[in-house]
Amino acid sequence: MKTLESVGRMALPDPRVWVCGDWHGNVGWLQTVVPAMARLAPGVTTILHAGDWWMDSKSVDFWSVRAGIERVLVTLGNHEPYDEYAPLLDAHPGHAVRVSDVVWLLPRPWRFEVFGREFLSLGGAASVDRRWRTEGKDWWPQERILDEQVEAACSRPADVMITHESPGDSPVDAVSQLLASNPGGFPADALAESAASRAQVSRVWNSVHPELLLHGHMHVSGQGQTADGRRVVSLGRLRRSGTSRY
């Protein structure tokens, strides 16, 4: 994989965009959902992806072109091939890197504009399933959000945040219920890392105060609103409802 182009800032004129999450490299889902997007919302040309992407770029290009999708901006998750992605991003600090006809990988953090609104992308999350993964094969330390990235993200307000990780104290009932019940039986040390990761997203969320935050990672679809009016949308994962919204 190589970088075809890199940019520090992007201003998209799109009045509507898709936001999707947690496709987990599944080409079957790609070839189901992308043609469906073209039928549901012809003319929408941008997908924002909230991470756990790990898609084959050639397949994404193939299906995107047929669906009129011109770009996919990927906010990286925890399950990503960071051995491939990190060197590309590290070679272009602060820049989004285009790795195929339509796919752009976003650095952490990254700001861009959509229809005059300020968007803040903050990828990364802690893997609660790390115990069952192997470093260098299907787990990399670059999944974790760094405190310096948190501080950089807090530089000024934003209208919309796209993250992989959920903020802590989520107003989304499905997310708080999931976290309270730990149905995956994940170990305590992993849950502690996960909570720390959510606290990092909360710090940014409370600082930049976006009207809307969309995230993946939890694999449950739902939305909620804080007492001070901030909306949060949790996206489902592939093959479940709510993996995509526009």
List the one residue from 78, 121, 223, 243 that touches Mn ion (CB under 5 A): 78
Distance CA 131, CA 190 (A): 8
Whose tokens are 């994940």? That residue is 186
At closest approach, how far in Å is the CB of 200 from Mn ion?
15
H/E run at residue 15: none
Residue closer to Mn ion (CB basis): 78 or 194: 78
Q: Does 197 bind Mn ion (CB under 5 A)?
A: no
Distance CA 221, CA 242 (A): 5
Residue closer to Mn ion (CB basis): 143 or 150: 143
Write the single-letter amino acid at 224. G
Whose tokens are 């909620």? That residue is 224
At closest approach, how far in Å is the CB of 218 from Mn ion?
8
Give start and end residues of each alpha helix (H) in the chain: 27-40, 57-67, 82-90, 147-153, 173-181, 188-208
Candidates 50-58, 145-153, 185-193, 201-209; binding stretch for Mn ion (CB under 5 A): 50-58
List the one residue from 18, 20, 29, 52 that touches Mn ion (CB under 5 A): 52
List the one residue from 21, 77, 109, 124 that touches Mn ion (CB under 5 A): 77
At closest approach, how far in Å is the CB of 191 from Mn ion?
14
Whose tokens are 């919302």? That residue is 41
Q: Does 217 bind Mn ion (CB under 5 A)?
A: yes
Candidates 95-103, 151-159, 214-222, 232-240; binding stretch for Mn ion (CB under 5 A): 214-222
Taking CA 98 as the corner, what is the angle to CA 93 and CA 101, rounded to the nearest 5 degrees?
Answer: 175
Give start and end residues of each alpha helix (H) in 68-110: 82-90
Q: Does 166 bind Mn ion (CB under 5 A)?
A: no
Residue closer to Mn ion (CB basis): 21 or 109: 21
**Which CA distances in Å does 59 have to 55, 63, 103, 198?**
8, 6, 11, 32
Candidates 152-160, 186-194, 210-218, 231-239; binding stretch for Mn ion (CB under 5 A): 210-218
Residue closer to Mn ion (CB basis): 45 or 139: 139
H/E run at residue 171: none
Residue closer to Mn ion (CB basis): 45 or 200: 200
Residue nearest to Mn ion (CB): 217
Classify strands 231-234 and 212-215 as parallel, antiparallel or unpaired: parallel
Where does this chain bind Mn ion (CB under 5 A)? Answer: 52, 77-78, 217
